[in-house]
Amino acid sequence: MKYIPRVALLLGIPALLFLVPWWLLVHSTVDGPLYWLGSAVFLLGFVFLPTGMLLGHGPRQSDAAVVVGDTLLGVAWVLFTWSVIGAVVRAGLAVAGVEDPARSRGVAVGVIAVCAALIGWGVVEARRVPRVRTVEVTIPRLGRGLDGLRLVVVTDTHFAALDRLRWSHRVVEVVNAQRPDIACHAGDLADGSVQRRRAQVEPLGKVDAELGRFYITGNHEYFGDAPGWLEYMTGIGWQPLRNSHEVVERDGDRLVIAGIDDPTGIALDGHGPDLPAALAGADPEVPVVLLAHQPKQIVDAVKAGVALQISGHTHGGQIWPFRYLVRLDQPVVAGLSRHGEHTQLYTSRGTGFWGPPLRVFAPSEITVLVLRAPATAA
């Protein structure tokens, strides 16, 4: 009985995702052989989506099934979204006096064309090397010796079933081209074990940052092998910040770089976020930059007087309009925002993608945060 809700969710979501576009594009639009052919296509999608997700993300961990299930999930979401929009347009045309079958068939053709274009574009956007986004952030009490410090952020790389080794090398090239003083990976490094994904992650060992390379866990490490990834990243020269901090110094001025575990880590003994522990022993007069995977961890950062929190997790929504669902769980979806009187939050849209190999109206990014001292200190 305890599995009934999970089974209902596993079947109910795909049923909804495929039923709406089937109704708009097939049931109320065509007849004869096209009706049966279209219905068969949507039925196969409904069968293969949950099957792929179960075999891929379940105990078997089949990479082939991951590719099939995740791709179908992305395609189904795009079809569902634009079919809902198409249904609204069709209702408007009916009010305007446009008769069937021209009304239904015209809308169906339009929806199919838009979906095909967005899916094609989304694949290109997901697989491309991310654009560089440079943002200047004024940090209160930052000394003039650290003014202009370049902190380069990658996050949510999600190395997984689709082999992105060449992409990984290109990302490292772009990161190094930004001349980072500090490099940060803000979590969700990979999906799967070190043994299966290490080849794609290995190029990160070539990132060059004079003042340090820092890494924190995201929620997806805890779905796989968090201890293994912490050990591996240490082995290739990155310093994990597990509820801890380091002090970086330049020209006599100091900055605290702290990091905390993702909240998902509480399921693993000895893991889970602990900001007081992360800041224990830090000079309260030195500004703090905090790596925390989820934007909603900003609540504790504000209480602790953190100057800047850097997060990922949201992917900017990844496939529009999913950003509006993300916003129900997180205070920010993307960009620089202010919280409380003294704390800022930068939320990256992520460097890679999770699941569906699509990005629609949510481009990936490699972020360069240029830290600035206040005008009075510069």
Same domain, residue pair 148 and 276: yes
Query: Residue 378: what pLDDT?
Result: 44
pLDDT, position 1:
62
Q: Kindly write down the DSSP assignment for every residue of 13-66, as one continuous string.
A: HHHHHHHHHHIIIIITT--THHHHHHHHHHHHHHHHHHHHHHHHHSTT--HHHH
Task: Look at residue 81 and tell me whether its pLDDT is greater than 70.
Answer: yes
* Amino acid 145: pLDDT: 97
Residue whose C-alpha is closest to residue 156's, from 171, 177, 174 = 171
Instruction: Report the CATH number at residue 216.
Output: 3.60.21.10
Q: Per-residue pLDDT tens for 27-42?
A: 999 999 999 999 999 9
The tens digit of pLDDT for each residue in 128-142 reads 999 999 999 999 999
Per-residue model confidence (pLDDT) at position 377 = 46
Q: Is the pLDDT of residue 265 over 50?
A: yes
Residue 51 lies in a domain: yes
| Last residue in a domain, options 110, 127, 144 | 127
Residue 224 scores a pLDDT above 90: no
Residue 300 in domain: yes
Statement to judge: residues 18 and 147 lie in one domain: no
Instruction: Give per-residue pLDDT as tens, 97-119.
Output: 999 999 999 999 999 999 999 99
Structural domain of residue 122, as residue ranges? 6-127
Tell me, yes or no, whether 346 and 279 share the same domain. Answer: yes
Q: 316 in the Ramachandran plot: left (φ > 0), alpha (ψ -120 to 50) or beta? A: left
337 pLDDT band (50/70/90 cuts)?
very high
Among 108, 127, 146, identify where a domain stops: 127
Q: Where does the pLDDT of residue 241 fall: very low under 50, low under 70, confident under 90, or very high at 90 and above?
A: very high
Predicted pLDDT at 356: 96
pLDDT of residue 156: 98
376 pLDDT band (50/70/90 cuts)? low
Our count of domains for the chain comes to 2
Nearest to 82 by CA among 364, 360, 363, 362: 360
Instruction: Mark whether 119 and 154 lie in a shared domain.
Output: no
Question: Residues 184-203: what's their mean pLDDT?
Answer: 97
Q: Indicate whether this model's pTM tops 0.85.
A: yes
Is 377 within the bounds of a domain?
A: no
